[in-house]
Amino acid sequence: MSGTKAATYGTVTKTFHWLTALLILTVIPLGAVANRLPYETNEQLAFKAQLFSFHKTLGVIIFAVALGRIIWALTQTKPATLHPERKVETRLADLVHWLLYISLVAVPLTGWIHHAATEGFAPFLLPISQDLPFVPNDESVAKLFAGLHWVFSRIMVGAILLHVAGALKHHFIDKDATLRRMWFGPAIATSGIHHSSLVAPVAAVAVYIAATAVGSAAGLYTEKSDRAQADLAAVTSEWTVTEGEIALTITQFGNPVTGTFNDWTSAISFDENATGVLGAVETTIAIGSLQIGSVTSNALEPDFFHADSFPTAVFAADIIPDGDSYIAEGTLTIKDVTAPLSLPFTLTLADDMAQMEGSVVIDRRTFAIGQSMSDETNLDFAVTVDIALTATR
């Protein structure tokens, strides 16, 4: 491009600029308000989740718009600054623009990866997958990108404030055409085109690297918890569990969310040749070891598992045959409630090795879990528990 047109902003560029501005000035306060809202009742949680869903959905839209804007900008010639003699001001403006370009991609992308790496709470309101290719469902990954999203958001806000301050200075103090030539209407031409250098983009990347390092030093990318977890004592057992998993699946806002207890012990006696009762099992679970997506901390609060006051849950049962499978018939104690529970399971025996798989559906109301959610608007009553383990005699 050359001549007068090269020294003006086109309609497409202006549209991208103001659409991005509108989206950003909506998504930032939306996220800030949603983050501060309480969630002690069904209605509060539903409203909080709805705002977060809008926030996340706008983030995805911003990511798409930002990519389009950047691709378009790379094909255009940018008008020259109105005050080329102001070297420091010009370089600062270039730095701020590059910080904004990086932020428009980095902030929504880290938020998207955080969403994809965890489960539960506030889905996208778009007909797209809640997952991303190559992003594992892993809480450590989720925590990393949640921290990066927080750090990068602060860079974005700082860059926006500097950008707005610069535009207002040009308009009200310098009284030049900097702001007016980005607005719609008759084209305002200026002489020359902008000559870019690598200094601004390199400096912007350096700012991001430095901020990321500060976030790491502050421990923003790893899970921090002051919640005490039960220290389970070793158990003596005829059968030793070599590997296994206790998982539970809840349904929140109509979507399944699966988590696991990472610390538990089982004392197992079992004789396949016995008659009647074949053995017994007593499993003790450290409630504080639960990891269940983005709702982990909420699940451990008093209205749910109340992990501080009730650090363990215990399932004690006799093992009885049931045709070609088995049933662990006994009781489950969660919090201060003990209720009968029958766990059907299959068992594969090979010499002195056993592989067991079982599943049972529990009503959370039986154990006074989620009493503030007296209906299934936000959280279903049914909780599915899946158990799989391998043990040696």
The whole-number pLDDT of residue 372 equals: 87
Residue 231 counted as domain residue: no
130 Cβ contact partners less than 8 Å away, ≥ 6 residues apart? 115, 116, 123, 124, 255
Q: What are the tokens at 383?
A: 């909780």
Is 122 in the same domain as 66? yes
H-only helix segments in the chain: 3-6, 11-36, 42-74, 87-117, 139-168, 199-217, 296-299
Final residue in a domain of this structure, among 161, 182, 217: 217
Provide DSSP, 5-44: HHTS--HHHHHHHHHHHHHHHHHHHHHHHHHH---SSHHH
Do residues 212 and 260 both lie within one domain? no
Q: Which residues contact 334 (CB under 8 A, 6 or more apart)?
A: 305, 310, 313, 367, 369
184 and 63 in one domain?
A: yes
Same domain, 193 and 256: no
Domain match, 277 and 387 both: yes
- The answer on 202 and 246 residing in a single domain is no
Domain co-membership, 24 together with 155: yes
Contact in structure between 139 and 291 (CB atoms under 8 Å): yes
DSSP type of residue 171: I
Give percent helix, percent strand, percent coil of the chain, each to the nearest 5: 40, 25, 35
The answer to whether residue 228 is domain-embedded is no
pLDDT digits (tens, 9 = 90+) for 13-60: 999 999 999 999 999 999 999 999 988 788 888 899 999 999 999 999
On whether both 69 and 135 belong to a single domain, the answer is yes
- Predicted pLDDT at 331: 98
In a domain, 320, yes or no: yes
State the Cα–Cα distance between residues 123 and 257, nearest whole angstrom.
Answer: 12
Mean pLDDT of the chain: 90
Q: Which residues contact 204 (CB under 8 A, 6 or more apart)?
A: 95, 98, 99, 101, 102
Does 131 score more than 50 pLDDT? yes
> What's the longest Cα–Cα distance across the chain?
97
Q: Distance between CA 175 and CA 178 in Å, rounded?
A: 9
Verify that 128 and 53 share a domain, yes or no. yes
Residues 68-84 have a mean pLDDT of: 82
Q: Is residue 225 part of a domain?
A: no
Q: Are residues 212 and 307 located together in one domain of the fold?
A: no
Where residue 205 sits, what CATH number does that domain have? 1.20.950
- Residue at 227 is within a domain: no
Q: What are the two backbone dihedrals, phi and then psi, of residue 320, each rounded to the nearest 5 degrees? A: -130, 150
Residue 234 lies in a domain: no
∠ at Cα 182 (179, 183), nearest 5°?
90
Confidence of residue 223 (pLDDT cuts 50, 70, 90): confident
Closest to 266 (Cα-Cα) out of 389, 386, 168, 384:
389
Number of C-beta neighbours around residue 362 at 10 A: 18
Residue 193 has pLDDT above 70, yes or no: no
The Cα angle at residue 262 between residues 258 and 268, in degrees rounded to 5: 110
In a domain, 159, yes or no: yes
Instruction: Quote the crossing angle between the two packed helices 139-168 and 11-36, to the nearest 10°.
Output: 120
Is there a single domain that holds both residue 59 and residue 131? yes
**pLDDT value for 3:** 39
Number of domains in the chain: 2
Residue 188 pLDDT: 65
pLDDT grade, residue 100 (50/70/90)?
Answer: very high
Residue 305 is part of which domain span?
240-392
Residue 229: inside a domain: no
Q: What is the DSSP letter of 170?
A: I
pLDDT tens, 348-393? Answer: 999 889 999 999 999 999 999 998 888 898 899 999 999 999 999 9
Q: What is the pLDDT of residues 199-220, one digit of tens each?
A: 999 999 999 999 999 999 999 9
CATH of the domain at 270: 2.40.128.110
**Residue 103: which of 70, 146, 54, 139 has the closest Cα?**
70
64 and 169 inside one domain: yes
Please name which of 145, 142, 125 lies closest in space to residue 55, comparing C-alpha atoms: 125
